[in-house]
Structure 1
Amino acid sequence: MEETIYSIKINGEEKKYLKGTPYQEIAAEYQPQYEDVIVLVLFNNRLRELRRRVKGEGELVFVTVRDKAGRKAYRRSVTFLMQRAVHNLAKDDGKQVTVKVAHSISQGYYCKLNGDTPNPEYLSRLKAEMMRMAEENIPIQKKSISTDDAVELFRNSGMHDKERLFSYRRSSKVNIYSIGHYTDYFYGYMAPSTGYLKYFELEPYEDGFVVMFPDKNTRVPAEFTPSHKLFHVLRESAEWGETMQIGTIGALNDAVAQGRIRDVILVAEALMERKIGTLAEQIASQPDKKFVMIAGPSSSGKTTFSHRLSIQMMAQGLKPHPIALDDYYVNRVDTPKDENGNYNFECLEALDIELFNHDMSALLKGERVELPTYNFRTGKREYKGIVKQLGKNDILVLEGIHGLNGKLSYSLPESSKLKIYISALTQLSIDEHNNLPTTDGRMIRRMVRDARNRNISAKETIAMWDSVRRGEEQYIFPFQDEADVMFNSALIYELAVLKQYAEPLLFQIDKNCPEYTEAKRLLKFLDYFLPVPSEDIEKNSILREFIGGSCFNV
């Protein structure tokens, strides 16, 4: 019988491979040409694991651990390796010990042990066991089983978060992974074997530990540099979710199915309003604070937050005046350019720092100042008679990405500033071993708002997201610990509401577009949620900034 041979295009070259050739074999052939380890492939614009085999003709692109999809697969696989190692040690010690992957921190995942304390001696053993299995190069097997069988499997394994998650699954099949006899479910693709997973570190932190992954140098674990303030905000949010008995998507779906979601919405909004009110009280108790400076990454709800904070400050007898730092942009022709020759509107130098400091210093002295307005259509600064003068109870609320950078407000006394970092740090996890990336929530928020307000398609939002993230990593995240206050704008129910707005936008993305892989991933992610209608959401909710219907001009 004649063997079938397919023509595969790789790096612009046509190659011939037998039907059934594993992608892992082809990747090994090309690995010497790549500095970073190949962990996945794109075949005809479809992401594929290396265990898959050639079944037809097309174009093959290698995905390394430096690429976004490859980096996620590597982290996911190391996490699975860590879980198996915890299981092995528990068996050796005769203990009932499990591990929970809580949330991202630094370049790693913060984890907690249930049933033991991760002291240095334990972590040393855990790392040694992980390295032993990595050297052994154990295959990471994948198997598709029925959803009903998956529910029973995880019930019998004591993984009740997964049992609950899959009880709402529409799909009839579930993909599960195994390292030897240890089986689990993961949201996304995996490396083909443990031999790929040699670069990680375990760091003790608080009452748990952090699994650290490589960053730019993909063969060296990143240095552990935690943000203690951010960690405690994350922990506070997670504890509140557990108090509400909604720590996972499955638990949220329970609330929807049982008709409790309206109460969840009301409590979540009430909690946020209480936090904003407490913050306003804090500001009012410090009369020397004249500048409330708000910064945070894209789609954190900064605009609605500043409005709600202003209202609460008014209730405290203050007179807040919102100022957008964007109004201090230099004229477009004077805007610095990036390495590609495009205007860099996100760098600090895109703002007229001298004019900003002149105006703010004059206001602090009690002088009358006419403030500029930036015309985004013409790219020029304009003056329209907006005059401010600070009295005893007046306070300026400044919102912009550089609000926490001391270089922006270098001439203002630190005692006159209160800095607030705001971000949407979701309290939910998919289950006990799959955390929910906060960046996914923000991207979905932005996608919905872009389509509604800016006539920007989901395809365009996805295409620009990596650039947005680079700007955040350069201009926002390094200054987050400068904040006096960190505020979490995520609402525990929001993704179930955003689902109905985002899914039609994602389905519009053509399968041949480069953005389709990410769209498919997000659609799979949103499929976990039961939908929640928006009728019961208050008009002043931060979520209204994205889905529409806000009482504020956002």
Structure 2
Amino acid sequence: MDLSKKIYGEKSDNYVLAFADGKLTELTHQVKSDSVVRFLSSNDKDGQRALRRSIVFVMHKALHDIFPDEKPTVFVQFSLGEGYYCTLGGGKKVTRKLLTDLKRRMKQLIDMDLPVTKSVYPTFEACELFLEEGMPDKQKLLHYRANSNTNIYEIDGVHDYFYGYMVPSTRYIKAFNLVPFDDGFVLQFPGKDGKVAEFNPPKKLFATLKKTREWASAMDIDTVGALNDAISAGRTKEIVLMQEAFMEERIGALAQEIASDRNKKFIMIAGPSSSGKTTFSRRLSIQLKARGLTPHAISLDNFYLNRDQMPLDENGQKDFEALEGLDIELFNEDMTKLLNGEKVILPIFDFTAGKRSNDGIPMQLGKNDVLVLEGIHGLNDALSYTLPKESKYKIYISALTQLSIDEHNPLSTTDGRLIRRIVRDARTRGTTAEETIAMWDSVHRGEMKNIFPFQESADAMFNSALIYEMAVLKIYAQPQLYAISQDSPQYTEAKRLLKLLDYFLPMPADDIANTSLIREFIGGSCFNV
């Protein structure tokens, strides 16, 4: 922190973490010998995480100050837009007055420049501390922690635990907002411009997340600690069967909705990387067949332009995720002919040669035929602009995890998908975890541009997350992450993911059926995935 002030002066508050000799560290770290130090702003991925954790902590502290004679609990449920959806425990209702008071107190705490101090506690003492302070989910989480010591953070007498680094004092928080929403509120975070954007709630996404959380709560498995309890109690088979029943029921309901409207000829499926789109498409097709339809699975990748025709991104590299990389005219021409009952030869893209194959797929749609089209741009009407709206049924799929780590730490859906991809790509493509992590930021940028903006236009959303999957993926991902050396640029991210996985008890895959979506990643699927 002292070095940061010497270098950046009044702007030092913009830098929230540092790399010292290649290791990520907090600004309270003492540099005791010659070192190479690089500072991270809140715009950096790790800096943003530290800032968000710290804002949550200030919110927790402010709530304690408003209700000094109680042990108030705020539950951070899940990410929503550029913020967290939160609810209050103890039967407290979220009112505009309460949010106004909470916001005012948070601003006062920020202006007071209170230090965020870190102390090392024996883990058993940390468990007792959080139980006394009314945070049983934290106590349950730490009960399964193998480390003998735990880092506890404190702001003016209020304690908390976070699975990552924090800012050194409250003054580093420059912006936030509290917005009432549904039964709770959204804690909004600043964007890269340092400002909090206007809140535009993704209502369909929220409804999907809320329903899944309610189901997890009904199973009494809504946190990592609760999942560990269930695993240690030998409930794994029950959990797997209930999860598969829940998922199959949802797929069946989607199939019934599609089958009830014979105008629907094009089922457009899109979602971010590692959402399980392939297995979902196969299982949906089976349910459609059971309802008298004849589905035909088609990948939109077959409509790629030849590699030498691909558009370039801002770095002059071929942009394989751009909408313009598809032959949009040919797609619309073929789909319109099929809708009119004509015969067409659909293209096949040869990825080895980087161009369209001379072969094709003969296709004609009869009364009961439907196309199941899966690809990045499936939800974007600019792809299917000639097709009438009533002929399309759009499904957004993503792995929207049901679990929280504890009261104040939601489990990142992006981390879940990254771990899925690490496991799958090592098995199917021979890609190392280091290589997968290195390309992940680029993948995520593509999702932000080409998928997430269209999710609310979907007719239906499907949550592909399995409540137990991190406990299963841990067994496969850990060895791959440990293989990343300390001198690798991806080591810090690997270390963070390993720490996350460390909170889960391992769960064997023996009871998981070969039709399960998780088999797309760990292997053993009956589908060609």
**Quick check: TM above 0.5?**
yes
The aligned counterpart of 1:9 is none
Q: Could you say which residue in structure 2 is the equivalent of 1:427?
A: 402
In 1, the alpha carbon distance for the partners of 2:224 and 2:309 equals 48
Residue 367 of structure 1, CA deviation: 0.5
Which one of the candidate residues 428, 434, 440 is aligned to 2:415?
440
| Contact 2:13/2:171, CA 8 A, preserved across alignment | no
The residue that corresponds to 1:339 in the other structure is: 314
Deviation (angstroms), 1:96: 5.2
SS of the residue corresponding to residue 109 of structure 1 reads strand
Aligned partners of 1:36 and 1:65 also within 8 Å:
no
Residue 235 of structure 2 aligns to which amino acid in structure 1? R
The Cα offsets for residues 83-111 of structure 1, whole Å up to 9 and x where unpaired, read as 111111112xx555321111100100111
Of 154, 158, 164 in structure 1, the residue corresponding to residue 140 of structure 2 is 164
Q: How far apart, CA to CA, are the structure 1 residues paired with 2:123 and 2:345?
A: 64
Aligned mates of 1:199, 1:275 — CA distance in 2: 40
Matching residue's letter, 1:435: P
Out of 285, 306, 312, the position equivalent to 2:260 is: 285
1:61-460 to structure 2, matched below 5 A, reads 61-91=38-68, 97-114=72-89, 115-218=91-194, 220-460=195-435
State the AA in 2 paired with 1:413.
P
* Distance in 1 separating the partners of 2:216 and 2:99: 28
1:13-40 C-alpha deviation (Å, 9 max, x unpaired)? xxxxxxxxxxx00011222596981000
Asked if 2 retains the 8 angstrom alpha-carbon contact of 1:142 and 1:178, the reply is yes
Preserved contact between residue 503 and residue 523 of structure 1 (Cα < 8 Å) = yes
1:16 counterpart residue number: none
For the residue of structure 1 that corresponds to 2:17, the secondary structure is: strand
Counterpart residue number, 2:4: 27
The one-letter amino acid paired with 1:312 is Q
| Percent of aligned positions that are identical | 56
Taking a change above 3 Å as real, the CA distance of residues 351 and 36 of structure 1, as seen in their structure-2 partners, is farther
Letter in 1 for 2:94: P
| C-alpha distance in 2 between matches for 1:299 and 1:278 | 23
Contact 2:397 2:463 in 1 (8 A): yes
The alignment status of 1:511 with 2:493, answered yes or no, reads no
Which SS does the other structure have where 1:58 is aligned? coil
Look up the SS of the partner of 2:66 in the other structure: helix
Q: Distance in 2 between matches of 1:36 and 1:278?
A: 51
SS in 2 for 1:288: coil
Count of aligned pairs? 528
Structure 1 counterpart SS, 2:509: coil
Contact residue 101 and residue 433 of structure 1 kept, 8 A: yes
- Which whole-Å deviations, capped at 9, do the CAs of 1:163-185 have from their partners, x for residues lacking one? 11111111111111000110011
Q: Retained in 2: the 8 A contact 1:36–1:66?
A: no
Shift of 1:198: 2.5
Q: 1:340 to 1:386 in 2, by over 3 A?
A: same
For residue 38 of structure 1, the aligned residue among 4, 15, 23 is 15
1:474-508 Cα distance to aligned partner (Å, 9 max, x none) = 00000001100000000000000000100000001
What is the TM-score when the length of structure 1 is the normalising length? 0.94
Q: Contact between 1:448 and 1:498, CA under 8 Å: does it hold in 2?
A: yes
| Cα distance between partner residues in 2 of 1:371 and 1:198 | 54
Q: CA deviation at 1:56?
A: 2.4
C-alpha spacing 1:34/1:367, structure 2 compared with 1 (3 Å): farther
* 1:474 corresponds to 2:461: no
Displacement, 1:44? 1.3
| Structure 1 position 156, deviation (Å) | 1.4
How far off is 1:216 after superposition?
Answer: 2.0
Tell me the amino acid that sits aligned with residue 31 of structure 2: V
* Greater than 6 Å deviation, 4+ residue runs: 33-36
Following the alignment from structure 2 to structure 1, what is the Cα–Cα distance between the partners of residues 360 and 15? Answer: 59
Contact 2:73 2:134 in 1 (8 A): no
Match 1:54 to one of 23, 31, 36: 31
Paired residue type of 1:185: Y
Q: Which amino acid aligns with 1:124?
A: T
TM-score by length of 2: 0.98
* Contact 1:104-1:110 within 8 A present in 2 as well: yes
Is residue 200–residue 214 contact of structure 1 (8 Å, CA) maintained in 2?
yes
For residue 207 of structure 2, what is the amino acid of its counterpart?
Answer: H
